[in-house]
Structure 1
Amino acid sequence: MSHDPNTFNNPSAPPGDYQSYQLGPPDAYQSSPPPQAGGSSPQAAESPPQANNATGTDGWGDFSSLDGKEIRRVFVRNVYAILMIQLLVGFGIIALFHFTPSIRAFVRSSSGLWLYLALIIAFIVICITLVCCCQCASRQFPANLIIFGMGTLLMSYMMGMISAFYETDSVLIAVGITAFVCFGVTIFSFQTKYDFTSCFGVLFVISIALMGFGIVCIFTRSQILYTVYAGLGAVAFSIYLAVDTQLIMGGKRQEISGEDHIAAAYMLYTDIVNIFIFMLELLGKRQ
């Protein structure tokens, strides 16, 4: 066997038949790369976002009330659809009382006046019952339809009976002015940045003052005071209409729940009926 003479002269060099290998751990035991700046690893950065249970599924929030635009839009549409039905009933009764001589004679008689007073008492009882005793009834079907249907008929009868004492031209003028005022107040409530829902205390004071002024007009029987009272009443209920409109639209300090669409429509109907009655008393000509 022959040997390379350089092998014995340079003992640090490996034999020619051997290969040199770099020492180190196998590839399977390589450690993971160090975490990046900020303390997050690539695996954590690539993980999908989790649902935020505090705000709802997928972090979109819980829109069970009027917070969602779609829910609010459907709510407003339902409210004004019910309001249109109420207005058709109310002004249909006005037309019936004006163009049916027998009904018109009855509502202008003493029996009709007593029935009118009884309906006023029934209306007050319904309002007190809704506010104090059974607020949940406004959300329960069909109790809500029955209660607010009765209220709509009572308000419509009162509106028709009062209009029976005025000439037809005066009633038509009052209807036109009421429609114009309600349309203007509604558009103003949509566009203004002022929050009318934050001044319930002022509205309460206005209501008490208006009630007291009406009692004074009953005992004094002054036509001037009665005219002033009608004008103040029309202004007051125009403000109430603006407040109720903002309560329905939402996005203010106070808002109506999305489940109270029937009650909201009845609120608007009550405001419109009172505006019509005060306009008729302010500008109408009695027969």
Structure 2
Amino acid sequence: MSSTDDTNERLQLKSSYRDDKQGEGQWGDFTGLESKEIRHVFIRKVYSILMIQLAITFGLIALFHFIPSIHTFVRSSNGQWLYFASYIVFVIVYLTLICSQRLARRFPLNFIFLGILTLSMGYMLGMISAYYKVESVLIAVGITTFVCLGITLFSFQTKYDFTSCFGVLFVATLALLIFGIVCIFTYSRIMYTIYAGLGALIFSIFLAIDTQLIMGGKQHEISAEDYVFASLMLYIDVVYIFLYLLMLLGIRK
């Protein structure tokens, strides 16, 4: 999966956010969180959707590890072809959801698209994790849980506005892209480890930013109507943190 393309797309999307005075009907309409009651309902809805997505994703990872027939299939040539098909589906659905505000807000199509995206990502992560030892996957899951929980709690209580860090994050993402290209042609374990560590760090910052966008009260915030888009952002953050931690700490079979 190309995480650098994903981060660049999201940076462009987030950098286009505007104050509600500048227009209506765009992703930049941050007008839905004025009421604390509305905000709390919005946050509960977003995290409920996120928990379902993560349960499906890590449930698929568990199936790919503990059911021998599935484990064998995903490591076969047919399983690899299905991986590429899942990646194509993921990219198409992801771009559709982030580019079409109308679709992302239209029930039940938004949930159908989100479900397809979750299943495709779940298959890709399941296949990738199938090449690592079970112990490594469990360690990555545990660390991801603590990291995401800590970042979320910190983002909720801190007075620092992470939503104003788009410029810094863009530079960091560009550096990750260049470093990833270098790693492809000059592979070394040290460079691979640094790349995975940088990736985990950058998506941890993404998680802090997205958490505050959902929480509201900062320079930028997300409309309460965009609960599917908000849960999608958090889901991508958590998934890539897990993936980079698995790359960083995992032991291949």
Band of TM-score, shorter chain: 0.7 to 0.9
Q: Conserved in 1, the CA contact under 8 Å of 2:163 and 2:212? A: yes
Task: Say whether 1:256 aligns with 2:222.
Answer: yes
Residues 216 and 110 of structure 1: is their aligned pair in 2 closer, same or farther, counting only changes over 3 Å?
farther
The one-letter code matched in structure 2 to 1:94 is I
For residues 155 and 234 of structure 1, the distance between their equivalents in structure 2, rounded to whole angstroms, comes to: 18
For residues 82 and 186 of structure 2, the distance between their equivalents in structure 1, rounded to whole angstroms, comes to: 25
Q: 1:123 aligns with which of 86, 90, 93?
A: 90
For residues 94 and 231 of structure 2, the distance between their equivalents in structure 1, rounded to whole angstroms, comes to: 15
Which structure's relative contact order is higher, taking Cα pairs within 8 Å and 6+ residues apart? Answer: 2
Task: Say whether 1:197 aligns with 2:163.
Answer: yes
Q: 1:110 aligns with which of 77, 80, 84?
A: 77
Q: Conserved in 1, the CA contact under 8 Å of 2:97 and 2:229? A: no
For residues 96 and 49 of structure 2, the distance between their equivalents in structure 1, rounded to whole angstroms, comes to: 22
TM-score by length of 1: 0.75
Task: Say whether 1:75 aligns with 2:28.
Answer: no
Task: Say whether 1:267 aligns with 2:233.
Answer: yes
For residues 69 and 184 of structure 2, the distance between their equivalents in structure 1, rounded to whole angstroms, comes to: 29
| TM-align CA RMSD | 1.5
- Which position in structure 1 is the counterpart of 2:184? 218
Q: After the TM superposition, which residues 122-201 of structure 1 pair with which residues of structure 2 at under 5 Å, given as runs? A: 122-132=89-99, 134-201=100-167
Identity %: 65
For residues 171 and 186 of structure 2, the distance between their equivalents in structure 1, rounded to whole angstroms, comes to: 23
The one-letter code matched in structure 2 to 1:182 is C
Q: Which has the larger Rg?
A: 1
For residues 82 and 191 of structure 2, the distance between their equivalents in structure 1, rounded to whole angstroms, comes to: 27
SS of corresponding position for 2:252: coil
Q: Conserved in 1, the CA contact under 8 Å of 2:183 and 2:192? A: yes
For residues 139 and 223 of structure 2, the distance between their equivalents in structure 1, rounded to whole angstroms, comes to: 36
Residues 81 and 234 of structure 1: is their aligned pair in 2 closer, same or farther, counting only changes over 3 Å?
same
- Which position in structure 2 is the counterpart of 1:60? none
For residues 206 and 155 of structure 1, the distance between their equivalents in structure 2, rounded to whole angstroms, comes to: 24
- Which position in structure 2 is the counterpart of 1:246? 212
Q: Conserved in 2, the CA contact under 8 Å of 1:97 and 1:164? A: yes
TM-score by length of 2: 0.84
The one-letter code matched in structure 2 to 1:125 is I
Length, aligned pairs only: 224
- Which position in structure 2 is the counterpart of 1:4? none
Q: Conserved in 2, the CA contact under 8 Å of 1:196 and 1:246? A: yes
For residues 213 and 200 of structure 1, the distance between their equivalents in structure 2, rounded to whole angstroms, comes to: 20
Q: Give structure 2 stretches of 5+ with no counterpart.
A: 1-29
Q: Conserved in 2, the CA contact under 8 Å of 1:171 and 1:284? A: yes
For residues 240 and 144 of structure 1, the distance between their equivalents in structure 2, rounded to whole angstroms, comes to: 23
CA shift, 1:64, in A, is: 6.4
